[in-house]
């Protein structure tokens, strides 16, 4: 399996622009997670889905952030409008079960820079 695939790997955009990050989970996995990594706060869970349905979005920082999972093999995280403080590495992860007996599988991340 190719693992979790994220695109783009790097994104540089200007403040106020819309940003869309994409994720393809591992085939057969029924949980998908979006995380944000910053120096100050480490890895923070933004939202997670089970069978394409959002379960917990309490980590989404503001209404500017939205996430969708239209099917089992694709998810997007959108920021509109983007702000410099959104600059971070965004990770997507998937797992076969919510019971993290062997952990989640992470993608390589998208490094977002908002100028």
Partner 1 sequence: DQQVKQNSPSLSVQEGRISILNCDYTNSMFDYFLWYKKYPAEGPTFLISISSIKDKNEDGRFTVFLNKSAKHLSLHIVPSQPGDSAVYFCAASPSGSRLTFGEGTQLTVNP
Q: By the criterion CB under 8 A, which residues form the site for partner 1?
A: 4, 35, 39-45, 48, 56, 91, 93, 98-109
Are the CB atoms for 4 and 25 separated by under 8 Å? yes
Here the tokens at position 41 are 């706060």
Residues whose CB is less than 8 angstroms from the CB of residue 95 and which lie 6 or more positions away in sequence, other chains included: 29, 30, 31, 33, 103, 104, 105
Here the tokens at position 56 are 């917990």
CB of 89 to partner 1, least distance (A): 9
CB of 96 to partner 1, least distance (A): 13
CB of 71 to partner 1, least distance (A): 22
d(CA 54, CA 35): 14
Q: Which is nearer to partner 1, 19 or 35 (CB)?
A: 35
Q: Which is nearer to partner 1, 9 or 85 (CB)?
A: 9
Q: Which is nearer to partner 1, 2 or 39 (CB)?
A: 39
CB of 23 to partner 1, least distance (A): 11
Are the CB atoms for 97 and 29 separated by under 8 Å? no
Q: Which is nearer to partner 1, 17 or 38 (CB)?
A: 38
């Amino acid at each position: 399996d190719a693992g979790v695939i994220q695109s783009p790997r790097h994104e540089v955009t200007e403040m106020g622009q819309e940003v869309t990050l994409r994720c393809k989970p591992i085939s057969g996995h029924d949980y998908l997670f979006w995380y944000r990594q910053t120096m100050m706060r480490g890895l923070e869970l933004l939202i997670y889905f089970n069978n394409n349905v959002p379960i917990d979005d309490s980590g989404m920082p503001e209404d500017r952030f939205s996430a969708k999972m239209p099917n089992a093999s694709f998810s997007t995280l959108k920021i509109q409008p983007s702000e410099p403080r959104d600059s971070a590495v965004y990770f997507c992860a998937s797992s076969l079960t919510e019971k993290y007996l062997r952990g989640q599988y992470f993608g390589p991340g998208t490094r977002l820079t908002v100028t």
